[in-house]
Amino acid sequence: WLWACARSREIGGPKLAIFTSMTVIDEMWHEFILCTHDYSSFCDDYLAGYVHHEPFTRADRAAFHESSSRDPMAQRKLQEDQLTAIMGFIHDHLGERVMYRWFRTYKRRYTAEFLHSHRLPMT
């Protein structure tokens, strides 16, 4: 995922977003970012610079809901176009198997319940 984000940035591809089906990727990214030195070094060494994690904020959610209530069909089309662009990018750069795994398999295998039940307690 990190390589795909860096590559997309490098070639002016779509801004990659983690969809609900890919929550496990987001969880792994969060864990890696916590090791700030290692994460920063990894990005510099392998990705030609730091890959920022830009979560969907409350303001983003509010704007999404406002736009959806104003024109639900246009908002749905925008989301579908974004998903199509991201899936196409992943397919073209990492292959069909990775695309299928990230957008289908992970959704079934790594549910919110699964992730919650396997989270280690904070000490």
pLDDT in tens, 43-86: 999 999 999 998 778 887 788 788 888 888 888 898 899 999 99
Among all chains, which residue has been given the structure tokens 């899936």? 87
Per-residue model confidence (pLDDT) at position 79:
87
- pLDDT > 90? residue 7: yes
Q: Which are the contacts of 9, defined by CB distance < 8 A and separation ≥ 6? A: 51
Per-residue model confidence (pLDDT) at position 65:
80
The token duo for 38 is 């290692």
Dihedral angle, C-alpha 99, 71, 12, 51, nearest 10 °: -70
